[in-house]
Chain A
């Protein structure tokens, strides 16, 4: 198979009771930009380091273009890595940093010069070649780190949270630079981050990791719209999904989600098993994204509104492009994202509706309902 394949990858660290990575399988196509995302400590950097050959694999295999590279030395894998703190050699100038690998591999001086000059041109580093990393800004260092990966012409480039040391504005700029760089390189890019926003905006595909397990793999749209479990649903999205714990009931041959006196008809989301879901799942968790909550008088025709519910405003966060409102009602506490023009005050009572077509249902264990 062309590309990179991880087969049932496992990593056990001695002294740890549970494996850090469990049965991880994934395929990466040439030219693809895949983001491994998950909370801190979920094992995403370990996966990256196993692919790089910096950490030995406990079980499973890594194949690159059909060849098993599981036990191949890291320098023979044709894989480059951009480290979190850039790992630029502080005593060498930019030129020497870019040329380091080629000098180690004893490549001809003329080839080194040409490759470094070309890389410097692409990454706009021509004027910085004589400078040492200490004299560069964060963004410039980042570009040098990209350049060092680029000159190797690798089949796979690994990014280990490369933007985490930059300020918010520079992060946005560098995201674009990295994507441009990825297109120029044409390699498989595997990018690790704990920032789901970064993952959603950059990735062709996202792999969501939790406690060493790949929970879901898919395009950003897929993982956002069809999360496989409550963890993914809660992790993906710039504001976490609201979860409301209630129970399923059956009335007149239709199933409803009920919390106290409030009922939501579930026919929009589980038409395939109206009756069964009520029988099998006494307790249910209803998931609704903040952007799928509307004020009673403000929703459009495209929205399938739930029955109204009154909720009191607890806190308002004005973000400029939208307004985040934290509410509390009979359904408990939840957060909604409203239009930027909305002006509400603390303690005000709002009538809200959910878009029934966008609701998510989970079992009490946090899994999606079976088809």
Chain B
């Protein structure tokens, strides 16, 4: 191996380690007693689940986990379903106002979410959805990015497949369900992961609409726990709570990674 190549590898490995080490250390410290929190190494002879036990004892994190799973799951399914409906009609059907709808979708992606927080909150209060699942779910039922990715993916599917299905008697929804969805698996997985991650990691919106502990999401709970003082400043317990927050995302990413990369590469959209 030439010196130059060796140097490249050293730089790349150093870069990779600088990214992954803090995460590994977080995992490690979450499994170690409080006395070791200043140790920057990854290994210890005293690994324990006590920190996780403490998190469960001090806050209703189990409930928050269920809330987050339910909300992120519902939002993800809804975004996939509704965005694919809109994406299908924009890509394959012809109707008046199609261009205007596409423009609205694009514009919706350009407006920062923070700008719409207040009007959205007023609406939620008006409907009486504060401190409820509806308040957390309804504003995220559809996504501009999802529509865009579905539209681009569906545009690559030949019209002849639709026409062949139509001649056999398939309705537009059957065409979507039986032909377009199976052919758009990478796009569905991509949108699924992006939406799930976005919904799972959302802190600001739950902080605004939810105040009851029983309705809180996991990240909201973890932020309140670590920053609000309930953790008592104990580093290991805070790290345990953080680990519980990120693990589902990492596991799902590992599982769907192949489709995810494939779809992002084919749709030309960068994460």
Q: Could you tell me which A residues sit within 8 Å of B by CB distance?
A: 52-54, 74-76, 79-81, 83-85, 87, 89-91, 100-101, 104-105, 148, 152
Contact = CB atoms under 8 A, between A and B. Distances in A.
Contacts of A52: 163, 167
Given A89-B179, A91-B183, A104 B163 contact: no
27 contacts: A52-B167, A54-B167, A74-B166, A80-B167, A81-B163, A81-B164, A81-B167, A83-B163, A83-B164, A85-B158, A87-B160, A87-B161, A87-B163, A89-B164, A89-B165, A89-B179, A90-B183, A101-B167, A101-B169, A104-B165, A104-B168, A104-B169, A104-B170, A104-B174, A105-B168, A148-B164, A152-B168
Contacts of B160: 83-85, 87
Contacts of A105: 168-169
Contact of B161 (A81, A89, A101): A89
Nearest to A49: B163
Interface residues of B, number: 16
Nearest to B174: A104
B169 A75 contact: yes
Contact of B168 (A54, A75, A90): A75
B235 to A, nearest CB: 50
A369 to B, nearest CB: 45
Interface of B: 158, 160-161, 163-170, 174, 178-179, 182-183
A79 B163 CA distance: 12
A208 to B, nearest CB: 26
A152 B161 CA distance: 17
Contacts of A152: 168
A100 B167 contact: no
Given A84-B160, A85-B158, A91 B167 contact: no
A87 B164 contact: yes
Contacts of B161: 87, 89
B166 A54 contact: yes
A300 to B, nearest CB: 51
Nearest to B175: A104
B163 A75 contact: no
A291 to B, nearest CB: 39
A87 B166 CA distance: 12
Contact of A100 (B158, B165, B183): B165
A75 B167 contact: yes
Contact of B167 (A79, A84, A85, A89): A79
Nearest to B185: A91
Given A89-B161, A104-B168, A152-B168, 15 more contacts: A52-B163, A53-B167, A54-B163, A75-B169, A75-B170, A76-B169, A80-B167, A81-B163, A87-B160, A91-B179, A91-B182, A91-B183, A100-B165, A104-B169, A148-B164
Query: Which residue of B158, B160, B167, B168 has the most chain A CB atoms within 10 A of its CB atom?
Result: B167
A83 B163 CA distance: 9
* Top 8 closest pairs, chain A to chain B, by CB: A101-B168, A75-B169, A87-B160, A87-B164, A91-B182, A83-B160, A104-B169, A74-B167
